[in-house]
Structure 1
Amino acid sequence: MNAAKLPVNHFDPAQAAVNEICPAGEPWVHLIKQGQTFRIVDLEGNQAVDTLFYNAHDTQERYSATDTITRQNHLYLTTGSKLYSNLGNVMLIITADTCGRHDTLGGACAAESNTVRYALEKFPMHSCRDNFLHALAHHPLCQQLDMSKRDLPGNINFFMNVPVTEAGRLEFTDGVSAPGKYVEMRAEMDVVVLISNCPQLNNPCNAYNPTPIRLLIWD
C-alpha cells in the first residue's frame, strides 16, 4: 500500500491534552479515555514501539493478538484495523496511519529471546520485557491497578516490519517507517496504554539505533 495515499487526520499538536516525548529505550504509561484519539509518532524513523492496552476498569481484559488477527483475518494493522480484547470487545480503532503496516506477531524482546536469536553475551542487554516489568512495578497507575508480570500478553509492535515467509517463519527485517510517520487510533473504551520504546540493538527493525517517539492524546 502506498503510504502517500493512506488516510490521515489533521489534529493540531498544540491542542493535544497530552504531548510528551518518550526517550529511546524507555517505558511509557497513560490513561486514554473512551472517545479520545491517541497518536504515536516515529520521530526519527524505523523505531519499534512495543505496545499493550488494558481495560482501565478491569485489567483482566486486555489487547489480544489472537482475537485481533482472527476476527479480521489479517496479520498486519493499518487504517481501519480494530484492536480486540481477549473478551472479544473492540478496544481501539486505527483511524489514521502514515506508515501502513504494523506487526502483531514479533512479540517483545527479552533477555531469553536475545540469547536465543543472537548470542549468549546478549543476555544482560536491556529489553522491552524489562521495560514492561519496570513500569508494572513502579508506575503509579499500574500500582493502583495492582498489575504485575502476570499481566503481560502478546503485544503490538507499531512501525516494526516482521514479514511471514511462505514456510511460516518470521523474519525481522529493515523497518518500513520513516521520520515523522505516525499511527493514530480512537479509544472505544477507557484504556491504559503500556509502551516500551524498544531498546533493541540487535535487529534491523530500528536500524540498530533506538530513537525517541512522541505520544499525543486529543479529547
Structure 2
Amino acid sequence: MSTQSPVDLAPIPQVLWETVIPAGTHWSGVLRRGIALRIVDLEGGANLAALFYRHDDLLERYNMADTLKAQHTAHLTRGHALYSDMGRVMASITADTLGWHDPLGGVGDAALFARQYGVRRYQDERNAMVRNGRDSLLLELAKHGLGTRDLVANINFFSKLASDEEGALTFVPHHSPAGAAFDLRFEMNTLAAFSSAPHPFDPSSAYEPKPVKLIAYRAYATDAAVPADDPCRAACPENERGFVNTDRLFV
C-alpha cells in the first residue's frame, strides 16, 4: 500500500497530561479509546521500544506480522494501523513528521548491552547505569501482572533499519532529528509499555539514550467511531475490516 508523506503536526486542541520518559528509562500506562499521544524526540537520535496490550483482556496484544502483511509494508508511518492478534486495530498513526519507524529490529537484552556498552550498575553509577530495553519493558509489564511469556515483537519508534538486496538489515544513524514527532491514536483501551533504551542494531559503543516526551489529548469521544473516510481506516480494505472488528467491542 502507499503511505502518506511526512507532514507538520496540527496544534493539539487541549492537553490532558504530559510526561517525559528520561533517557534510558521506561514508562507504562493505560490509554483509553479515543485518546491520542503526541510522541516527541526531544534531542534527536531517540529510540522508543513499544509494546501494546488490550487493557480489557491482556491476552490480546499487538501483532507485528499481521500489522505488516495486512498493510503490505515493512515500516510504519502516517496512515498505518497497529493490529492485535485478534484482527482488531489497537492504534493508528495519524500524523508523522519523520516518515519511518522500525517494526522489525526487536529489543536489546542484558547480554547484548553488556558486550556493547560494558557493565554499569546502579550501585556504582546511579542514574548513569546502563538499562537494556528488554528488562525495562519487563519491569513495566510486571506492574500489570505480565511477564516474560507476554513479550512479543515490539515497535522501535524513531528508528530506521535499511535493507540491502539480500535482506540484511542495517541501522541508519541520525535518522530522527530533534523535534521529530508523531501522533498515535488509540482505538481501544490499551496498555502501553515503553523503553527509551538504544536500538539493538545501533552500532555505537557509546551508551547515549535520549529522552522522549508524551503529550496526551482526546482525538474523539469514547462512544464514537472513526469515520469511514479517516486516512488510516480508508488506507486499505484490511484496515476497514480491522476498524469494524474494533468498533464491535464498543457497540
Which TM-score band (shorter chain)?
Answer: 0.7 to 0.9
Matched, 1:28 2:27: yes
Return closer, same or farther for 1:152/1:68 CA change in 2, 3 Å cut-off. Answer: same
Q: Whose Rg is larger?
A: 2
Matched, 1:127 2:132: yes
CA distance in 2, matches of 1:214, 1:121: 27
| Correspondences of 1:146-157 after superposition (within 5 Å) | 146-157=145-156
CA distance in 1, matches of 2:183, 2:65: 21
Partner SS state of residue 186, structure 1: strand
The CA deviation at 1:35 is: 1.0
Matching residue of 1:38: 37
Instruction: Tell me how far 1:201 sits from its aligned partner.
Output: 9.1
| TM-fit CA distance, 1:165 | 1.8
Q: Percent same amino acid at aligned positions? A: 37
- Counterpart Cα distance in 2 of 1:87 and 1:79: 22
Instruction: After TM superposition, give the deviation of residue 12 of structure 1 in Å.
Output: 3.1
Any gaps of 5 or more consecutive residues in structure 1?
Answer: none
Call closer, same or farther: CA 1:45–1:167 in 2, change over 3 Å.
same
SS at match of 1:185: strand
Q: Does 1:10 align with 2:10?
A: yes
2:189 is matched with which residue? 190
Query: 1:24·1:199 contact (CA, 8 Å) conserved in 2?
Result: no
| Contact preservation (8 Å) 1:201, 1:209 | no
Aligned 8 A contact 2:107 2:199 in 1: no
Q: How many residues align?
A: 206
Three-state SS of the structure 2 residue aligned to 1:39 is strand
Q: Which runs of 4+ in 1 moved over 4 A?
A: 118-125, 199-202
SS of 1:17's equivalent in the other structure is strand
1:1-219 aligned within 5 A = 6-12=6-12, 15-114=14-113, 125-137=130-142, 139=143, 142=144, 146-199=145-198, 203=202, 209-219=208-218
Secondary structure of the residue that 1:75 maps to in structure 2? coil
Give the Å deviation of 1:182.
0.5
TM-superposition CA deviations, 1:55-109 (whole Å, max 9, x none): 0101111111101111011001110011111111111111000011000100011
Distance 1:114 1:172 in 2: 16
Q: Cα–Cα, structure 1 residues 92 and 201, in superposed 2: closer, same or farther, change >3 Å?
A: closer
Partner of 2:65, secondary structure, is helix
Displacement of 1:120 in angstroms is 10
The alignment's TM-score, normalised by the length of structure 1, stands at 0.85
What is the RMSD of the two structures over their aligned residues, measured on CA atoms? 2.5
* TM score, norm. by length of structure 2: 0.75
The question of whether the paired residues in 2 share the 8 Å contact of 1:50 and 1:196 is answered with: yes
The alpha carbon displacement at 1:7 in A equals: 3.1
What displacement does 1:111 show?
2.1
